[in-house]
Amino acid sequence: MPATVANARTASAQWKRHADGAMVSAMGDFDRITFDAAIMGGRACIRGMRIPVSLIVGQLAHGATVEEVLADYPDLEEQDVRQALQYAAWLTTEEVRPVRTSA
């Protein structure tokens, strides 16, 4: 069974655990975003399929509409595309801190 964002990124303070053990981010539950080392090398994919989140976000960034993405990938649902965008937006909230080295 592929891992979800919830169990791949539990160190983030933005995650909360529900009573059933599922992890939910401050932005919502990313239950459609999965990670599996046997599928696309562990990249973030949609529902365990060989459709990476980056492919969907990239198409939208280059001007494709949600309808065009859905037509190109009939196994996708509109909520898959929405959640891919939400996940990409969530990733941009991560803090990047420079590593200081002593001279």
pLDDT tens, residue by residue, 7-17? 444 434 455 55
Which residue in 59, 54, 25, 28 sits closest to 41, CA to CA? 54
Angle at 89 between CA 36 and CA 70, to 5 degrees: 65
Residue 99 lies in a domain: no
Q: 81: domain CATH number?
A: 1.10.10.10
Residue 95 lies in a domain: no
Residues of the chain with pLDDT under 50: 6-13, 20-23
Please tell me the total count of domains within the chain. 1
The per-residue pLDDT for 5 is 52
Write the burial class of residue 19 (CB in 10 Å: 0-12 exposed, 13-18 middle, 19+ buried).
Answer: exposed
The per-residue pLDDT for 28 is 59
The per-residue pLDDT for 99 is 84
